[in-house]
Structure 1
Amino acid sequence: MPTEEVPETLHLTTDEQLRAVSNLTRHRIMAALRFEPATITQLAERVGLAKGSSSYHVRLLERAGLVKVVRTRKVRGVTERYYAMAARTIVLPDPGEGGPDVLMRHAVADLEAARTDSERHVRMAHLRLTDEQFAQLGARLEALADEYRELSDPSLPDTSLVFALFRPAPRRQAEGDAK
């Protein structure tokens, strides 16, 4: 399916969609589909699942409207379905105060599972920014991610870029702390 036929953005709004993306295996299936369509067998190989498990998770993603069949073909009397993402970008609602941030949990799980014998860039910086600087930095990070997404070549190895720009909750003084 040509990229121009895929909507740019899908905003997740239903409980079914949120349940579908909250599972790490389904998150990894969606990541495997980000550049090109794949069959259940191909997804099972890419994600390291049994074919039946892959099929189960893809059906849940399809039912939630996150992936769709983009082409079929007959192979030895069986219809082979190729699945693709329903949109180039999936947007989750803000988890709200104290709510779980599904994307960051998946990113940490992917980072922990990543090969440690290859180059990695992981950094955390604590900054003090004005509201304007905060907004500018957020826009620059998003533009940089978009720029490199456009340069992505499906024939190259997967690379994940994760960033979180946020203002932490105010620190509360513990009882007995000096004021």
Structure 2
Amino acid sequence: MTIDRMPTDDLPETFHVTTDEQLRAVSNLTRHRIMAVLRFEPATITQIAERVGLAKGSSSYHVRLLERAGLVKVVRTRKVRGVTERYYAMAARAIVLPDPGAGQPDVLMRHVVADLEAAPVDGERYVRLAHLRLTEERFAELGARLQALAEEYRALSDPSLPDVSLAFALFRPASRERAAPTEGEGDAE
């Protein structure tokens, strides 16, 4: 799973989430939304608070946790009326999350669903679910094509335009034959 971020030449390509502290930091929906603000350009605590709809103190708290976990960093500072203003950015172009263990929630997909549910209902959106039957080869091919398409459009992103989120999940669901029967199933005599 990957969380895309801003294109900056001097940033490492990827940051792999490996510690419990890092996983806790990215598992919080507010911090996920803060990282989305920092995806394309650095921002101050005040700018982050305004964009996410938080109080400045709450914004500062969440950014400090992300910074302590190594997910964001100060990329520049400037003096404003005797106060040092810090600009934060993501620590890498992409944040790579560990795959969830069996039966554990997929943090990234939970954030995607929360963001989709919070999106304006009158806004334009495309949400589709397709059930497919594919060979291993076609499955891998489709995964590579989806990733390439996402990369192509990420390269075309313009930070001056409104945010657009693209999420996709290509997976093989649990086999219905192996899944435990739900209430009412398997009760036929």
Q: Using the alignment, how far apart are the partners of 1:173 and 1:56 within structure 2?
A: 43
Relative distance call for 1:166 and 1:113 in structure 2 (3 A) is same
In the alignment, which of 8, 11, 16 is matched to residue 6 of structure 1? 11
Q: Using the alignment, how far apart are the partners of 1:173 and 1:67 within structure 2?
A: 43
1:65-144 alignment, distance < 5 Å: 65-144=70-149
Relative distance call for 1:146 and 1:2 in structure 2 (3 A) is closer
* 1:177 Cα offset (Å): 5.3
Q: Using the alignment, how far apart are the partners of 2:64 and 2:180 within structure 1?
A: 48
CA RMSD of superposed structures (Å)? 1.4
Q: Using the alignment, how far apart are the partners of 1:68 and 1:59 within structure 2?
A: 9
- Report if the CA contact (8 A) 2:72-2:88 is conserved: yes
- The AA in structure 1 aligned to 2:52 is V
Structure 2's unaligned 5+ residue stretches are 1-5
Q: Using the alignment, how far apart are the partners of 2:168 and 2:7 within structure 1?
A: 28
- The AA in structure 2 aligned to 1:52 is G
Q: Using the alignment, how far apart are the partners of 1:8 and 1:109 within structure 2?
A: 27
* 1:62 Cα offset (Å): 0.1
Residues 1:56 and 2:61 aligned together: yes
* 1:173 Cα offset (Å): 5.3
In the alignment, which of 20, 42, 49 is matched to residue 15 of structure 1? 20
Secondary structure class of the residue paired with 1:73: strand
- The AA in structure 2 aligned to 1:131 is E
Residues 1:149 and 2:154 aligned together: yes
* 1:118 Cα offset (Å): 1.5
Structure 1's unaligned 5+ residue stretches are none
Q: Which residue of 2 aligns with 1:42?
A: 47
* 1:131 Cα offset (Å): 0.5
Residues 1:176 and 2:174 aligned together: no
Q: Using the alignment, how far apart are the partners of 1:2 and 1:145 within structure 2?
A: 14
* 1:58 Cα offset (Å): 0.1
Q: Which residue of 1 aligns with 2:163?
A: 158
* 1:176 Cα offset (Å): 2.6
| Number of residue pairs the alignment of both structures matches | 178
User: Deviations 1:100-151 (Å, cap 9, x if unpaired)?
Assistant: 1000000000000001112100000111111011100000011111111110
